Amino acid sequence: MNTRNLTTALFLSFALAAGCSGDAKTQPDASKHAGQGVVPGSYEDWCGEHEVPESKCTRCDADLIAAFKATKDWCAEHGLPESQCHKCNPDLVITRPPKPEGR
């Protein structure tokens, strides 16, 4: 393979890998999401993309949906917890916990 073909192949490999990494629901942008080992309910437990606690973000972690449905906290019309549905609850305010002092 000549240099031009190799360069093209490498470019396409990187482009396909980036494009096929999944949507925000399966592969969230790490810069907007809490890291592993974060304490639920803490300042760090925050999904900046969806403006809810990361530990309760069903749009980033579909495995959480069953628990919300089991507790009857589910808006079937909009596909997210009723406690997070701004369309059904326009006055709803979800605030991030305060940042600890010294950080």
Task: Give tens-digit pLDDT for 38-48.
Answer: 899 999 999 99
Report which of 87, 22, 96 is spatially closest to residue 53, judged by C-alpha positions. 96
pTM summary value: 0.65
Distance between CA atoms of residues 66 and 15, nearest Å: 35
More confident residue, 71 or 10: 71
Query: Average of pLDDT values for 40-64?
Result: 95
State the pLDDT confidence band at 31, using cuts at 50, 70 and 90: low
- What average pLDDT does this structure show over 4-8? 39
d(CA 103, CA 25): 29
Q: Stretch 43-72: mean pLDDT, rounded?
A: 96
